[in-house]
């Protein structure tokens, strides 16, 4: 087995005749933290959503933890057990309590006994510092709390890879930090992370590599300090000058 | 005084009081007016006429009825006939509605197009026209008695109705039927307990461990206790007509078929809209957690969609019940048509309209009550 947990090979994807992903190559080692940035509409979400097969692609190949991502339903099921995802808009299940949100997948998909699942859920809720809210409903929490619950929910499946798609973009500014703090804590525990975000502080603190995407391509890739301090590509420079006012 | 009138709560109460006063005034005036007019024309008021002999026959009845029975009984026969249409009709209309609504959202292109076509056409043809159509099909286009179609073994369809076998000993079988209903309800209850237990213990039981199926021995046992009645009354051709078995008249069949086809198009649209109203993110979050499509639909999407679907679905259930009064157009004796006949014979228009209103109102309130109880289970807590 190779030490790469994700191997993307010349992935191409079209929406009708719109070419969203163009020859995307990306290898991610176990435990690596990748931050992806780039202008809106450049294909960042589409790329990471290929990894857990929320999106199909038409050309190229993608291996996740040794599983070939293709149309095979068994493979898709298997990979989704290994890959967790945190969304911009949290997507908690509003009709279930926080605890039920967390235990649903482990009990249904992995058939973990309920008591065990609840113990594990409480552990993760404590990790994201929200244990006292377990019996509330998502509608009763603030945005930052919801996102921390969403992170705990994906951790309950004990994933090998965590995908974040702009996890702090929908939050009020004062709540961004509480979510980033949790993400930093997770990063330090060694899980593989791919994170679409424009939070430079976070990128500098945890990222092993920062990728810059534009018009469906990865146009630049570097360690965070070099990436932010001397970007090589014109478009990267342009983009960075826009987000650093 | 002015200070009081500026208080929000006191102000609201004053307006409510004024509204109530006006409504009472209007009704009091109307009542008084009618009373004096009727007295002038020497028309007796009150419900005394209900005890008089009806003197007309009723095409079909679920209880024994003769033309020398009272108006009260005639109207009761009508209520039963309406309930029969409403219960069978609504059950089928919701079932097929949800099914067609789901197919409209399926991945299958053909299924999607067919359901769309169904919904679009059926919704746009007036119900009365559809009822006439089905009535014509049942009475004109179906073969006569001698050439009856045998749809399934011993189930016959001809222009006099749909015939199917029933057990001879109907009384015993109604007990068995009740036992069956109890065991079905019990089964779902036990299944819930089993699923809970499975989740608690984190394993799935094998088929043989699912002892819950044993509950279906209950109707079998009832059957044995009642002396295992097994004689079946088959419909068969004798002379110029079918005898034996149970018959759905062409009027009943056309009415139920028309109402079900019409209403299920609306129910399908309600289902489709309810499910599409749920944010795509809910499906995605479920998929990302590895939850299968059918589980997502069952545990995550439908419970949320039902919250949106129940109020319009309740309306459609009430609509079907009320639309069943179009029965009069194709000669099915529902309670409105029987009460109408009563009104024509006795001239007690106000009382008869009152009876119709009260019965519909009770049906509506009962339906709303049941649906509201159901809806409470799907409420979502917001802050
Ligand atoms: N379902 C879709 N159908 C058609 N075009 C889409 C669809 N989803 C995304 N796109 C387009 O693909 C491009 C990339 O989208 P996305 O990956 O969401 O960008 P990013 O996350 O970088 O902002 C955008 O131009 C978007 O309009
Ligand atoms: Mg995006």
Q: Give the DSSP per-residue string, B205-255.
A: --GGG-GGGGGGHHHHHHHHHTT----EE--EEETTEEESSEEE-HHHHHH
| Cross-strand partners of B246 | B164
- Best of B285, B307, B375 to substitute, by most chain A Cβ atoms within 10 angstroms, is B285
The residue that leads in pLDDT, A122 or B236, is A122
Helix ranges, A129-172 (H): 143-155
Question: Residue A58: helix, strand or coil by DSSP?
Answer: coil
Reported confidence tier of residue A1, pLDDT bands at 50, 70, 90 = very low
Interface check for B200 against chain A (CB to CB < 8 A): the answer is yes
Q: What percent of chain B has pLDDT over 70?
A: 96
Distance of alpha carbon B162 from alpha carbon B58, whole angstroms: 19
- B248 falls in which pLDDT band (50, 70, 90)? confident
Residue B308 in contact with partner chain A when CB distance is under 8 A: no
- Please tell me the predicted confidence (pLDDT) of residue B210: 66
Averaged pLDDT for residues B14-37: 89
Q: Do B202 and A137 touch (CB under 8 A)?
A: no
Q: Cβ contact (<8 Å) for A92 and B200?
A: no
Written as six digits, the tokens of A189 are: 């525990």
Buried b (16+ CB within 10 A) or exposed e, A200-212: bebbbebbebbbb
Query: CB distance B382–A140 less than 8 Å?
Result: yes
Residue of A77, A104, A111 with shortest CB distance to B202: A111
C-alpha closest to that of B139 among B255, B220, B217: B255
Q: Which of A149, A154, A124 is nearest to A137 (CA)?
A: A149
Which run of H or of E encompasses A18? strand A18-29
Q: Among partner residues B201, B288, B380, which is closest to A94 by beta-carbon distance?
A: B380
DSSP assignment, residue A139? G
The answer to whether the beta carbons of residues B264 and B100 sit under 8 Å apart is yes
Name which of B281, B290, B299 is nearest A91 (Cβ-Cβ): B281
pLDDT at residue number B123: 94
- Choose, out of B198, B203, B290, B303, the residue to mutate when testing the contact with A (most A CBs < 10 Å): B290
Indicate yes or no: CB of B202 within 8 angstroms of CB of A116.
yes
Where residue A2 falls among pLDDT bands split at 50, 70, 90?
Answer: low
Count the helices and strands in chain B (H runs, E runs).
Answer: 14, 8
Mean pLDDT across B327-348: 92
- How confident is the prediction for chain A on average, in pLDDT? 93
Chain B residue with Cα closest to A111: B202
- List of residues 6+ apart from A232 with CB closer than 8 A: A220, A222
Per-residue pLDDT tens over the stretch A69-88? 888 888 999 999 999 999 99
Q: Specify the ligand 1 atom closest to the Cα of A46.
A: 17
Work out the burial of residue B90: count CB atoms within 10 Å of its CB; fewer than 13 is exposed, 13-18 middle, 19 or more buried: buried
Residue B63 to residues B77, B78, B80, B81, Cα–Cα distance (Å): 7, 10, 9, 10
Contacts of A89 in chain B (CB under 8 A): 279, 281
When pLDDT is averaged across residues B222-239 and rounded to a whole number, the result is 80
Q: Which residue did the predictor score with more confidence, A182 or B13? A: A182
CB contact under 8 A, A89 and B378: no
Q: What percent of chain A has pLDDT over 90?
A: 85
What does the pLDDT look like over A98-152, one tens digit per residue? 999 999 999 999 989 988 999 999 999 999 999 999 999 999 999 999 999 999 9
Rounded distance from Cα A211 to ligand 2 centre (Å): 15
Residues 6+ apart with CB under 8 A from B369: none
Taking any CB pair shorter than 8 Å as contact, residues of chain A touching chain B are: 52, 54, 77, 80-81, 83-85, 87, 89, 91-95, 104-105, 107-109, 111-117, 136-137, 139-140, 150, 153-154, 157
Q: How many helices (H) and strands (E) does chain A have?
A: 9, 10
- pLDDT interval class at B202 (50, 70, 90): low
Residue B152 has pLDDT above 90, yes or no: no
Does residue B123 sit at the A interface (CB-CB below 8 Å)? no
Q: With contact defined as beta carbons under 8 Å apart, do B202 and A111 qualify?
A: yes
Return the ligand number nearest the Cα of A36: 1
Is A95 close to B279, i.e. CB distance below 8 A?
A: no
Which element (helix H / strand E) includes A68?
A: strand A67-68
Residues A54, B287: C-beta atoms closer than 8 Å: yes
Contact B190, B215 (CB under 8 A): yes
- A43/B264 Cα distance (integer angstroms): 42
Instruction: Please give all residues whose beta carbon lies within 6 A of any atom in ligand 1, as ranges.
Output: A 15, 18, 20, 38, 40-46
Burial class (CB in 10 A: 0-12, 13-18, 19+), B117: exposed
The string of pLDDT tens digits covering residues B328-337 is 999 999 999 9
pLDDT value at B270 more than 90: yes
Q: Does B140 touch chain A (CB under 8 A)?
A: no
CA of B109 from ligand 2 middle (Å) equals 29
Output the furthest CA–CA distance in chain A (Å, rounded). Answer: 55
Closest CA to B253 of B164, B171, B342: B164
pLDDT by residue (tens digit) across A47-73?
999 999 999 999 999 999 999 988 888
**Mean confidence (pLDDT) of chain B:** 87
Confidence class of residue B88 from pLDDT cuts 50, 70 and 90?
very high
Question: What ipTM did this prediction achieve?
Answer: 0.94
- Asked whether residue B382 carries a pLDDT value surpassing 70, the answer given is no
Look at A214-223, B226-235, B340-349 and tell me which has the smallest mean pLDDT: B226-235
Please check whether residue B289 touches A, CB under 8 A.
Answer: yes
Residue A233 has pLDDT above 60, yes or no: yes
What value does the mean pLDDT take over residues B11-25?
90
Instruction: List the single best residue of A91, A140, A141 to mutate versus B (max B Cβ within 10 A).
Output: A91
Q: How confident is the model at residue A245 (pLDDT cuts 50, 70, 90)?
A: low
Residue B87 forms beta bridges with which residues?
A: none
Q: Which residue has the higher pLDDT, A19 or B155?
A: A19
């Amino acid at each position: 087995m190779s030490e790469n947990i994700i191997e993307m090979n010349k992935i191409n994807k079209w929406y009708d005749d719109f070419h969203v992903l163009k020859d995307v190559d990306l290898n991610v080692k176990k435990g690596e933290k990748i931050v992806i940035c780039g202008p809106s509409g450049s294909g960042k979400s589409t790329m990471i959503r290929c990894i857990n097969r929320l999106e199909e692609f038409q050309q190229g190949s993608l291996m996740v933890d040794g599983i070939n991502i293709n149309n095979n339903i068994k493979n898709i099921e298997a990979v989704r057990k290994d890959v967790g995802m945190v969304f911009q808009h949290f997507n908690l299940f509003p009709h279930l309590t926080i605890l039920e949100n967390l235990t649903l997948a482990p009990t249904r998909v992995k058939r973990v006994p309920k008591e065990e699942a609840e113990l594990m859920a409480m552990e993760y809720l404590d990790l994201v510092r929200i244990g006292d809210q377990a019996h509330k409903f998502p509608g009763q929490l603030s945005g930052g709390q919801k996102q921390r619950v969403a992170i705990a929910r994906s951790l309950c499946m004990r994933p090998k890879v965590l995908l974040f798609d702009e996890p702090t973009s929908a939050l009020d500014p004062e709540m961004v930090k509480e979510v980033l703090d949790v993400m930093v804590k997770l990063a330090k525990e060694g899980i593989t992370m791919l994170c679409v975000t424009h939070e430079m502080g976070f990128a500098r603190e945890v990222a092993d590599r920062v990728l810059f995407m534009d018009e469906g391509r990865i146009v630049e890739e570097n360690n965070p300090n070099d990436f932010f301090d001397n970007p090589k590509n014109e478009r990267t420079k342009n983009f960075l000058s826009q987000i650093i006012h | 005084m002015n200070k009081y009138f500026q208080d929000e709560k006191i102000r609201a109460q004053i307006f409510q009081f004024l509204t109530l006063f006006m409504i009472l005034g209007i009704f009091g005036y109307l009542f008084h007016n009618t009373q004096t007019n009727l007295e002038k024309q020497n028309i007796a008021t009150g419900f005394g006429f209900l005890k008089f002999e009806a003197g007309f026959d009723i095409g079909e009845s679920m209880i024994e009825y003769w033309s020398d029975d009272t108006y009260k009984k005639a109207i009761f026969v009508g209520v039963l006939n309406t309930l029969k249409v409403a219960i069978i009709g609504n059950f089928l209309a919701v079932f097929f509605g949800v099914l067609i609504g789901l197919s409209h959202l399926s991945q299958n292109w053909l299924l999607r197009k067919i359901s769309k076509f169904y919904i679009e056409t059926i919704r746009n043809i007036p119900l009365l026209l559809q009822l006439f159509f089905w009535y014509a099909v049942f009475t004109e286009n179906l073969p006569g008695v001698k050439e009856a179609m045998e749809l399934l073994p011993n189930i016959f369809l001809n222009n006099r109705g749909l015939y199917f076998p029933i057990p001879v000993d109907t009384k015993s079988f109604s007990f068995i039927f009740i036992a069956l209903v109890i065991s079905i309800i019990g089964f779902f209850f036990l299944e819930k307990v089993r699923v809970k237990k499975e989740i608690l213990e984190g394993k799935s039981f094998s088929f043989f461990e699912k002892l819950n199926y044993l509950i279906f021995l209950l109707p079998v046992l009832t059957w044995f206790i009642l002396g295992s009645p097994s004689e079946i009354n088959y419909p068969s051709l004798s002379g110029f007509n079918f005898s034996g078995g149970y018959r759905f008249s062409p009027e009943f069949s056309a009415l139920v078929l028309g109402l079900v086809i019409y209403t299920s198009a609306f129910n399908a649209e309600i289902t489709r809209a309810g499910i599409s109203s749920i944010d795509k993110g809910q499906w995605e979050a479920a998929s990302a957690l590895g939850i299968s499509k059918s589980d997502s639909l069952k545990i995550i999407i439908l419970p949320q969609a039902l919250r949106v679907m129940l109020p319009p679905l309740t309306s459609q259930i009430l609509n079907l019940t009320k639309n069943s009064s179009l029965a009069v157009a194709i000669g099915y004796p529902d309670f409105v048509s029987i009460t109408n006949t009563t009104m024509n014979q006795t001239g007690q228009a106000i009382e008869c309209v009152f009876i119709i209103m009260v019965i519909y109102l009770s049906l509506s309130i009962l339906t709303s009550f049941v649906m509201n109880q159901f809806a409470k289970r799907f409420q979502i807590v917001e802050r």
